[in-house]
Structure 1
């Protein structure tokens, strides 16, 4: 029997153990690891982006780590164009590529034909020159959206007026190819296996492993990870990065790694203090086992610069914990909607593995993953059931239409989000408030007696 060589994909939120499983699977089945993380492609923020350590990287060959400098943007198109040749080379050698990451739209770009090419996509050195006409780079987002509407009304209707990146991309497609993004997407969708999200699957043999963790357990795990980062040298890493790239922060703050979770939360501290102050903070933290001072402990440092600095640093850490939790929930929502609930999309079987109990890792995570992959390779039926597909409540609604709520002054893309908004308590309260204001305005034609 001809053995199948699958493309193995490990999905999951931050902190669910994706790196650990990927290393175990390489040891068991061979292959190489391809990181699908939009922040780990950049150099210099190893701790902040939770990259595989140097020791872990030495255990297996890793790709797409440290391939761009923080001063340049690295888009999903660049990622796809770099990763696909690696995948093809591995499969040609009958080795399994193991895709690992939490940036799900990066993973989508590899599994499905969903991106539109332009001539500038092939040259990574031209990332800052993606628009043929540079005047667009200085235009306001509102003006850009209006320009897009004049050349590609359907895309303007599909893209949120505030989403500058997607607006620019749609304009770029027209500038580079002479065709609208809408027409390009229509071509993809007409392919056999295409759907409203784009073209068909690229590869016939794919295994999807989704690492899940109980949310309360994951939240505690993520909080401990942040605390552990300080002990690993996070403050020094952030200071070096800030001092190196501070000059590009002003003009490129919304691009690439400058918006990564793990850096932007500490900008208030980094802007206010310097490396000399960092040393005082490090001395304090080291003496206190890297535990941030509580409000009671702050009394010991009352009215000192160190107290204020530690307080600000603690606020930054708390903010990082908060946004990391939010991001983990966003990752889960993306997988549910784009992998499990796509009505007409070709989606490989998705297997859920519970990583909540680390002490039960072998029984709950590694052994099931090994069984799934081994059965697939040998053409056998695994006893482990994949996750059932479900129907998204907005599956039959038009997701490429724009609506504007004049009461809340907000735009909504797609009928599903628009319907949710109209039913929301916030919208209803504002609508009622507007109604009361209108009824309370006296009619000048009615004279009081």
Structure 2
């Protein structure tokens, strides 16, 4: 018996092969691809955001690529409101929607229902102060006045979440706390969201050994240069540098752009052309620090700009590796270790060995999906759910460490911090300084003579 068409979701850190698998599954099952990437929704920066190439896009219908300009806001609500009708239309046609991307909170907005549905997040009363005019600290204080529980739950530096909580109140008249409480009381709801939207969901998690992934990510950055990254960044920078100086909103926060701003602001297209010629001559291999010291006289004129470009590339590699680990942590905590949350079966696919892709990745994914559709027993077991060590602790409280001068949201993070070596070292350092200060004060006090002692000393003299 053929089961209803499932919603297929491909999760995974950047560089694990999500685009490749999505194309293969779309061709195999006649599906269409919905991009869940917060940066790929914007036009421009195709190379920097690792967008599916035109050739790849021709292999299957893609949705939600290039749907916003770099100067307009595009939030998770915009994404959800655009993606849900597409999913419904595809399911009605018995075509599997294939959601793929690295922005996991975009994916969550599709999988779980929520009562927080503001159609116009930006709408404000004419007498209300625009949020952009306030600092993050001012916003947090404002949130504390209208929704103390949310202010206690959201980190004071997390501007996006603070703004979101305020916008919910402004647009609905209810606090985010009240909305979440109502959401929890729904069948299948919990602190992270409501019940699942769809009864038939398959989650495929592409994994890769971190050391293998790090090498792969570094090579991808090097490959971007050869694909024309420098020219793409220059064109984008010159077009939008006057729009805003904040690299924290929209596509301006893209990993792959902001790391190169120091170079883009210091040099122009003339220098770009010289570097491009050098890179072509050297097969797009950036010089090492040692080679920079032994360059020819002609090449030495490029040394400073090459060094800065190399620094930008190294920063991009570092940030990309860090982001891949953050994505991994999100999936572990939100999909595998969420207490009382309805989570579809999650299947792990190891992409570490590219040579074994066909057997280890594609055929296993094909087997999982086909077995599900045919309502047959699948020989591949889903991952076991686990209990998060902080499951029974209060995750809606905040603590401030006066020693380390840091805020912590949730009792679990707070307990981890108190047990950390970093905190213990700082605590001991503070205690040592206090003891030294007390000893110094005591020494000074002992050296101060009372009037009687001073008179006695004078008499003896």
**TM > 0.5:** yes
1:222-258 Cα shifts (integer Å, max 9, x gaps): 11110110110000000000001101231x4210111
Q: How does 1:17-28 map to 2 (within 5 A)?
A: 17-28=17-28
Aligned partners of 1:20, 1:387: CA distance in 2, in Å?
A: 22
- Equivalent of 1:232 in 216, 227, 236: 227
TM-score, normalising length: structure 2: 0.93
Q: More displaced, 292-301 or 22-31?
A: 292-301
CA-CA distance at 1:3 after TM superposition: 2.6
Kindly indicate whether residue 135 of structure 2 is the aligned counterpart of residue 136 of structure 1.
Answer: no
Kindly indicate whether residue 24 of structure 2 is the aligned counterpart of residue 40 of structure 1.
Answer: no
Aligned counterpart, 2:458: none
Aligned partners of 1:104, 1:17: CA distance in 2, in Å?
A: 16
Kindly indicate whether residue 446 of structure 2 is the aligned counterpart of residue 447 of structure 1.
Answer: yes
The answer to whether the 8 Å contact 1:16/1:218 transfers is yes
CA-CA distance at 1:2 after TM superposition: 4.3
1:285-322 Cα shifts (integer Å, max 9, x gaps): 00111111122332214684411111110111111111
- Equivalent of 1:427 in 423, 426, 432: 423
Aligned partners of 1:367, 1:42: CA distance in 2, in Å?
A: 33
Aligned partners of 2:403, 2:124: CA distance in 1, in Å?
A: 37
Q: How does 1:38-437 map to 2 (within 5 A)?
A: 38-114=38-114, 116-121=116-121, 133-250=128-245, 252-298=246-292, 299-301=294-296, 304-437=300-433
Aligned partners of 1:209, 1:177: CA distance in 2, in Å?
A: 36
The answer to whether the 8 Å contact 2:124/2:170 transfers is no
Question: Which consecutive residues of structure 2, in runs of 5 or more, have no partner in the other structure?
Answer: 450-461
User: SS of the counterpart of 1:89?
Assistant: helix
The answer to whether the 8 Å contact 1:209/1:351 transfers is yes
CA-CA distance at 1:20 after TM superposition: 0.9
Aligned partners of 1:341, 1:25: CA distance in 2, in Å?
A: 28
User: SS of the counterpart of 2:349?
Assistant: strand
Question: Which consecutive residues of structure 1, in runs of 5 or more, have no partner in the other structure?
Answer: 122-126
Aligned partners of 1:150, 1:23: CA distance in 2, in Å?
A: 49
Aligned partners of 1:74, 1:272: CA distance in 2, in Å?
A: 30
Aligned counterpart, 1:124: none
User: How large is the RMSD of aligned CA atoms in angstroms?
Assistant: 1.6
Aligned partners of 1:395, 1:160: CA distance in 2, in Å?
A: 20
- Equivalent of 2:434 in 435, 438, 448: 438
Aligned partners of 2:383, 2:295: CA distance in 1, in Å?
A: 54
1:182-236 Cα shifts (integer Å, max 9, x gaps): 1011111111000111211100000000111111111111111101101100000
Give aligned pairs, total: 442
Aligned partners of 2:141, 2:3: CA distance in 1, in Å?
A: 54
Aligned partners of 1:136, 1:51: CA distance in 2, in Å?
A: 32
1:409–1:131 distance in 2 versus 1, CA, 3 Å: farther
Aligned partners of 1:228, 1:88: CA distance in 2, in Å?
A: 37
TM-score, normalising length: structure 1: 0.95
The answer to whether the 8 Å contact 2:115/2:179 transfers is no
CA-CA distance at 1:447 after TM superposition: 3.1
Aligned partners of 1:21, 1:421: CA distance in 2, in Å?
A: 39
The answer to whether the 8 Å contact 1:131/1:172 transfers is no
Aligned partners of 2:125, 2:161: CA distance in 1, in Å?
A: 13
Aligned partners of 2:366, 2:87: CA distance in 1, in Å?
A: 21
